[in-house]
Amino acid sequence: MNSSLLNIDTTALLIIDIQEKLLKAQFEQEKIIKNVSILAETAKILDIPVIISEQYPQGLGFTIKEIKEKLPENTDFFEKTSFNCCLESGFTDQIHRINRKQILICGMEAHICVHQTVHSLISLGYDVHIIQDAVTSRKQSEYEYGLKRMISYGAIPNCTEMAIFELIKCAKHPQFKSIQNLVK
C-alpha cells in the first residue's frame, strides 16, 4: 500500500454516481451530501481537477444540485452504463489526460461502482484514497463489505476532513481560512 500524503499538484477528485434517483435509497444520505459538497468546494478552492461519473442519467437522473453548485467550472462529466468507470470507453483517457497520480474517490455505491472503479484504478497504478465518510451504499453492511474489499487490495483509507487538511499542509497556506470554514 502506498502511504504517501496527498499533494495538491498530484491529486484529482472522482465523484461516482451521486444522482437524484440513486440517492433516495442510500444509507446516511445527509452525511454523503455534506461531505461530497465539502470535497467539491475544496477542489474548486484549490484548483484540483474533478471528474463526475453518472450512471445512465436518462433513467437515474443527474448529479444532485447540492453538489453541482459547489463544483469547479471545468469539471468533467462522464456518462456510463458500466459499473466500473474504467470499463467505459474514453474514461481512462480522461483520467490520463488530467495527469494526476493520486485519486480521491467518493460516491455510490461502495460495493458496486465505487469498488469496481477503485480496483481498476489501483491496477492502473494510481494511488487511490477512498474517502470513507463520503461513500455510501443502500445498506450499511454493503458499505462495510465494499470498504473492506477496497482497502484489502490497496485503497488508502481517508476521510473528508483529513484529506482536505492534508492537501493544504499547514495553517500558513493561503487558502487555509477558506478550507477551515468548510468544516466549521
- Grid cell at residue 134: 463520503
Cα-flanking dihedrals φ and ψ of residue 172, to 5°? Answer: -85, -5
- Selected catalytic residue, list 44, 70, 80, 85: 80
- Grid cell at residue 18: 451521486
- Selected catalytic residue, list 70, 85, 113, 133: 113
Report which residue type is found at 84.
N
Are the C-beta atoms of 38 and 65 separated by less than 8 Å?
no
User: Annotated catalytic, 113?
Assistant: yes
Q: List all residues 6 or more positions away from 152 whose beta carbon is below 8 Å from its beta carbon.
A: none
User: Annotated catalytic, 93?
Assistant: no
Pairing of strands 156-158, 127-136: parallel
Report which residue type is found at 149.
R
- Selected catalytic residue, list 17, 44, 85, 127: 17
- Grid cell at residue 130: 477512498
User: Annotated catalytic, 17?
Assistant: yes
- Grid cell at residue 78: 462522464
Q: Which residues are catalytic?
A: 17, 80, 113
